[in-house]
Chain A
Amino acid sequence: MSKPLGSFPGGLKLPGHKAQSTQTPIRKTPISNKLIMPLQQHIGAAAVPIVEIGEKVLKGQRIAKADGHVSVCLHAPSSGTVIAIKNHPIPHPSGLDALCMIIETDGEDRWIEREAVADFKSLSAHDIRQIVRDAGIVGLGGAGFPSFIKMNPGVRNKVETLLLNGSECEPYISCDDMLMRERADGILDGVEIMQYGLEAEEVILAIEDNKPRALSAMELALASRPHMTSTRIVIVPTRYPTGGEKQLIQVVTTKEVPSNGLPLDIGIVCHNMGTAYAVGRALYHGEPLISRIVTVTGKSVEHAGNFETLFGTPIAELLAFAKTKRQQDEAFILGGPMMGVNLSGDNLPITKTANCILVGVHDSAPEAEPLPCIRCGDCASVCPASLLPQQIYWHSRAKDFEQAENYNLFDCIECGCCDYVCPSKIPLVSYFRFAKTEIMTKQREQQKSDLARDRFETRLARQEREQKEKEERQRQRKAALAASKAKKDKEDAATTETADKEN
């Protein structure tokens, strides 16, 4: 039963700074007057609006439908009126605007009629996936990949292990911790449904050892469900980035996800605790995903804590609610201090992937001119993917992207450990992201030019063929003409002959 844990190479022991946001229970953020709903809050295609401007919507009413396979629906987080569908700033590092639906709330917070499922086992796995998709559920760990896809074992793969990620390894973030402490039972509801859908042999709830209260809450909840015999809790050591999917899999199962592959390839599916909770709500309560728990913390936050917040709530309002000392438009971090994005602007909304808002970081990295790389290799010694960041950096800097790729650039998970330890303070991850985008752009261009060349060559071949056919036809026509002429001549000759004879 208790197999020895594996471990991943490298990693960091980081100061957690989690106590600040775990002193108070989860609080509800007040409903904002205006909810800004970006149509794309997930990986994949943006949802397509199905309500008109001026239309009244109820809380939980579907306002946009999934478009294509990798996409999910979107729901009104509260009741009110759609007042606009327009481009609006979104919380994205590019700072670009995107299409958003803006709902003016009426304060009644009136639900649409919900359809709860009493016994999920009466449904097929396919039906469950459909419900999850219709409920707009995406991975709440931060990436926002549509969850229904990850609840499909596929035809060739058999799922041995469903892994629930309770390793919130980034400093400051505590939303999963608080969710486990307060809603362990709700999480297990979802876990059971996920296991049923995936036909997973076993379920492992992996929780870091720096969350003793979450751990005991989960243990208690699991103990009260004696029928969940194939589910167990595994305590994993706290080390950044244990919560990375690949790293957690390595720690818990000692297996490695193949490069360019998926966990499913080795019989593992990994979901976030918050996602499981959302799945439980969707099935047992008929509630679509319209809110999430957001950690608001940092040096400048007075009432730090976790807030159950409706999607579309302006981040500035949430920060004000948490009593944040902040200038107007002062920058903040969305996500954790190691992998989050640096944003500014008061009009940005909370979306499905917003796990943490961080204002004011301790030991923040200074914006300083980096020194040259001295090849000390500290970066390689902390790299959880066993890469040689110093070599990838060398080649990325020289724009020798082919070599960077040869040093397995694309296995970099951008955890930032190398940046953290670099004595020259080189922004390594930024270089790697730059190299990745350059390579991908080049590949796309290559594809485009391949396509163009194909088209050109096909056209050339067609023209050649047509030319040949034309020539062939001409030849045939000529031949026919010649033949008919010859025949005619012959006939003429024959006629003459006959005539001669007659004469």
Chain B
Amino acid sequence: MALFRISPPYLAGANRVTKQMLQVLLAMVPAVIAMVYFFGVAVLINIALALVVGLLAEILMLKLRQRPIKPFITDGSAAVTAILIAVAIPPLSPWWLTVVGVVFAIVFAKQLYGGLGYNPFNPAMIGYVLLLVSFPLEMTTWLPVSSLAENPVDFHAAFQLIFHGETGTDWVADTVSGATPLDAMKTQIGQSILPEYIINQNLFGFAGGLGWEWINIWFAIGGIYLIYRRVISWHVPVAMLAALFIISGLTSMFAPEMTGSPIFHLVSGGTMIGAFFIATDPVSGSTTVKGRLVFGAGVGLLTYIIRIWGGYPDGIAFAVILMNMMVPLIDYYTQPKVYGAVK
């Protein structure tokens, strides 16, 4: 007996949610390697912890909701959410920070809304924002890139720091805390230091923050790979980056004392992971072509506004969540013209 569907079409393309999510994970690998290079193996410990916690939370919630476990674990969406949070959290953060963020993302932002496909907000960003507003100190102190650290953190030290809050050795804890380049830029502009001087400090590299610029570039390369593989469409990232570039360009043209250069903004903080891996989340983003341009541009503008005038050094997460709220409106007003539509 031939097994095929009862109703047409009987042909199926090869596209699957799981495949798409695996592509997303694959595309993040180079940037994660760069992060490990600049910030040490602590990044990997966080990712592993987030993955375990994320998958457990997903399984538990699916059980409670009496949904089949296998199809929803293998779809890969929980893994993507967990990893996005893991790489957004400062590498040497205590373990409970990761756990709280991931659990909140999976349980509250995703499963309680109905699981895959039904969450109005980007789960990873909800988890991240919860941590950011609840634990601002822990969330904004990054360790400096390893080349600037006097004592790079090895695996043992990282493990001890994350799980016990101390190294167990006479390792100097001072080098652990520091501001991110975006943070430094914001604080020093607040102290009326000119951006052109700020970027000469050793915290900064050739275009953005030292190390950060490379991480951003690798996220961008991974993102371009996703566009090439048609996992994401170009509309959101291009609109977001263009909006960020234009508004920072205009500001630095007319008020250079207020802002880093457009290039600085493109390769600093979470810009590229935001553009290619976060704002492109299909579930919580706009679903029309024109809508995606509006959505992306909105994320870019809001990110910049928060970076310059807001209370946080980076604004990707808030920008994405704010634009998530706009999605029904955007989708409604950006419907394509249908074949044969009579005016």
A361-B10, A390-B287, A391-B287 are known contacts. Are A376 and B20 too (CB-CB below 8 A)?
A: yes
1-26 of chain A: CB within 8 A of chain B = 8-9, 12, 14
115-133 of chain B: CB within 8 A of chain A = 115-118
Further 20 A-B residue pairs, CB within 8 A, beyond A256-B340, A369-B71? A12-B13, A258-B340, A300-B2, A331-B1, A331-B4, A338-B10, A364-B2, A364-B11, A365-B4, A365-B5, A369-B68, A371-B116, A372-B115, A374-B77, A377-B233, A377-B289, A380-B288, A411-B339, A421-B13, A425-B12
A367 touches B4 (CB 8 A): yes
B340 touches A411 (CB 8 A): yes
Judge whether B255 is part of the interface by a CB distance below 8 angstroms: no
Judge whether A68 is part of the interface by a CB distance below 8 angstroms: no
Judge whether B246 is part of the interface by a CB distance below 8 angstroms: no
Partner of B338, one of A375, A411, A419, A421: A411
B339 touches A386 (CB 8 A): yes
Tell me the bound Cα distance from A425 to B118 in angstroms: 17
Tell me the bound Cα distance from A416 to B289 in angstroms: 20
Query: Considering the complex of A and B, which 4 residue pairs feature the smallest CB-CB distances, nearest first?
Result: A372-B117, A416-B9, A365-B12, A259-B340
Judge whether A366 is part of the interface by a CB distance below 8 angstroms: yes
A8-B339, A384-B339 are known contacts. Are A420 and B3 too (CB-CB below 8 A)?
A: no
B12 touches A385 (CB 8 A): no
Interface string of A128-172 (1 = CB under 8 A from B): 000000000000000000000000000000000000000000010
Tell me the bound Cα distance from A342 to B10 in angstroms: 9
Taking CB atoms, residues of chain A closer than 8 Å to B1 are 327, 330-331
Q: Closest CB-CB distance, A65 to chain B, in whole Å?
A: 34
Judge whether A443 is part of the interface by a CB distance below 8 angstroms: no
A429 touches B15 (CB 8 A): no
Tell me the bound Cα distance from A363 to B14 in angstroms: 9
A372-B118, A375-B285, A422-B15 are known contacts. Are A386 and B337 too (CB-CB below 8 A)?
A: yes
B9 touches A371 (CB 8 A): no
Partner of A337, one of B7, B10, B338: B10
Partner of B283, one of A261, A375, A408: A375
Taking CB atoms, residues of chain A closer than 8 Å to B335 are 388, 407
Tell me the bound Cα distance from A408 to B4 in angstroms: 29
A333-B10, A372-B117 are known contacts. Are A360 and B2 too (CB-CB below 8 A)?
A: yes
209-234 of chain A: CB within 8 A of chain B = none
Judge whether B311 is part of the interface by a CB distance below 8 angstroms: no
Q: Closest CB-CB distance, B119 to chain A, in whole Å?
A: 10
280-298 of chain B: CB within 8 A of chain A = 282-283, 285, 287-289, 292
B68 touches A421 (CB 8 A): no
20 A-B pairs within 8 Å (CB atoms) are namely A259-B338, A260-B342, A330-B2, A332-B2, A337-B9, A342-B5, A365-B10, A367-B5, A371-B17, A372-B114, A372-B115, A374-B282, A380-B287, A385-B340, A388-B287, A391-B287, A423-B20, A424-B117, A427-B5, A429-B7
Taking CB atoms, residues of chain B closer than 8 Å to A330 are 1-2
A372-B117, A424-B17 are known contacts. Are A339 and B340 too (CB-CB below 8 A)?
A: no
Judge whether B136 is part of the interface by a CB distance below 8 angstroms: no
Judge whether B168 is part of the interface by a CB distance below 8 angstroms: no
Judge whether B19 is part of the interface by a CB distance below 8 angstroms: yes
Judge whether A439 is part of the interface by a CB distance below 8 angstroms: no
Judge whether B6 is part of the interface by a CB distance below 8 angstroms: yes
B288 touches A388 (CB 8 A): yes
Chain A's closest residue to B114 (CB) is: A372
Judge whether A305 is part of the interface by a CB distance below 8 angstroms: no
Interface size on A, residues (CB 8 A): 69
Partner of B17, one of A327, A411, A421, A423: A423
313-342 of chain A: CB within 8 A of chain B = 327, 330-333, 335, 337-342
Taking CB atoms, residues of chain B closer than 8 Å to A359 are 2
Interface string of B47-62 (1 = CB under 8 A from A): 0000000000000000
Partner of B12, one of A8, A335, A420, A430: A420
Q: Closest CB-CB distance, B109 to chain A, in whole Å?
A: 15
Taking CB atoms, residues of chain A closer than 8 Å to B5 are 342, 364-367, 427
B336 touches A380 (CB 8 A): yes
Taking CB atoms, residues of chain B closer than 8 Å to A333 are 4, 10
Partner of A423, one of B6, B15, B340, B342: B15
Taking CB atoms, residues of chain B closer than 8 Å to A70 are none
Tell me the bound Cα distance from A246 to B340 in angstroms: 9
247-292 of chain A: CB within 8 A of chain B = 250, 256-261
Secondary structure class of chain B's binding surface, majority of residues = loop
**Most-contacted residue by chain B among A332, A335, A420 (CB, 10 A):** A420
Taking CB atoms, residues of chain A closer than 8 Å to B336 are 380, 386-388
A340 touches B282 (CB 8 A): no
Judge whether A378 is part of the interface by a CB distance below 8 angstroms: yes
Tell me the bound Cα distance from A376 to B21 in angstroms: 12
Partner of B282, one of A171, A331, A371, A376: A376
A342 touches B6 (CB 8 A): yes
Chain B's closest residue to A257 (CB) is: B340
Judge whether A373 is part of the interface by a CB distance below 8 angstroms: yes
Tell me the bound Cα distance from A425 to B20 in angstroms: 13
Taking CB atoms, residues of chain B closer than 8 Å to A408 are 338, 341
Judge whether B213 is part of the interface by a CB distance below 8 angstroms: no
Chain B's closest residue to A420 (CB) is: B13
Tell me the bound Cα distance from A442 to B8 in angstroms: 25
Judge whether B257 is part of the interface by a CB distance below 8 angstroms: no
B10 touches A364 (CB 8 A): yes
Judge whether B314 is part of the interface by a CB distance below 8 angstroms: no
Taking CB atoms, residues of chain A closer than 8 Å to B331 are 391
Tell me the bound Cα distance from A416 to B11 in angstroms: 9
Partner of B7, one of A374, A380, A425, A427: A427
Taking CB atoms, residues of chain B closer than 8 Å to A429 are 7-9
A338-B9, A338-B11, A340-B8 are known contacts. Are A387 and B338 too (CB-CB below 8 A)?
A: yes
Taking CB atoms, residues of chain B closer than 8 Å to A338 are 8-11
Q: Closest CB-CB distance, A370 to chain B, in whole Å?
A: 9
Taking CB atoms, residues of chain A closer than 8 Å to B288 are 377, 380, 388
Q: Closest CB-CB distance, A93 to chain B, in whole Å?
A: 8
163-215 of chain A: CB within 8 A of chain B = 171
Chain A's closest residue to B343 (CB) is: A258
Tell me the bound Cα distance from A260 to B296 in angstroms: 35
Tell me the bound Cα distance from A384 to B20 in angstroms: 24
Chain A's closest residue to B341 (CB) is: A259
A338-B9, A374-B17, A380-B287 are known contacts. Are A385 and B118 too (CB-CB below 8 A)?
A: no
Interface string of A400-430 (1 = CB under 8 A from B): 0000000110010010100111111101011
Taking CB atoms, residues of chain B closer than 8 Å to A411 are 338-341
A331-B2, A376-B282, A388-B288 are known contacts. Are A366 and B338 too (CB-CB below 8 A)?
A: no
Taking CB atoms, residues of chain A closer than 8 Å to B77 are 374
1-50 of chain B: CB within 8 A of chain A = 1-17, 19-20
Chain B's closest residue to A261 (CB) is: B340
Taking CB atoms, residues of chain B closer than 8 Å to A331 are 1-2, 4
A363 touches B12 (CB 8 A): yes
Judge whether B75 is part of the interface by a CB distance below 8 angstroms: yes
